Amino acid sequence: MDEFNDLLSKNDLSEEQLNICRDIRRRGKNKVAAQNCRQRKIEQVEELQGKLGKAMARRDRVRYEHQRLLSVYAAEADKLKTLTDLVLSHHSKDNNTWSLQPVIKYGI
């Protein structure tokens, strides 16, 4: 700004000419600021699109894992039902009247 003011003061310019020079400079600076603003906005949008893509990929992985775990759970529940029926029939017990309580031991 100092260089600009020094340049203007060295020349004999009318007030109108000074105002035109200042206006041209202001418009030029504003143009550069607007370009920088648009570029930052583009970079922000690209960053958000990248984050969205990662979030959607993570969501899909979690959904897949959830479905896989539901399948594993259903398979294990079927195994438990089969074993329960087998044990009860071995002891001649009716599975509608009797039930087994699984005991979980940790550290085996």
Residues 9-47: tens digit of each pLDDT: 767 777 888 788 888 889 999 999 999 999 999 999 999
Q: How far apart are CA 68 and CA 66, in angstroms?
A: 5
Confidence at residue 7, expressed as pLDDT on a 0 to 100 scale: 66
Computed over every residue of the chain, the mean pLDDT equals 90
pLDDT tens, 37-66?
999 999 999 999 999 999 999 999 999 999
> Is residue 73 predicted with pLDDT exceeding 90?
yes
Would the pTM of this model clear 0.85, i.e. be above it? no
pLDDT band at 1 (very low <50, low <70, confident <90, very high): low
Q: Please give the residue that has the higher pLDDT: either 103 or 80.
A: 80
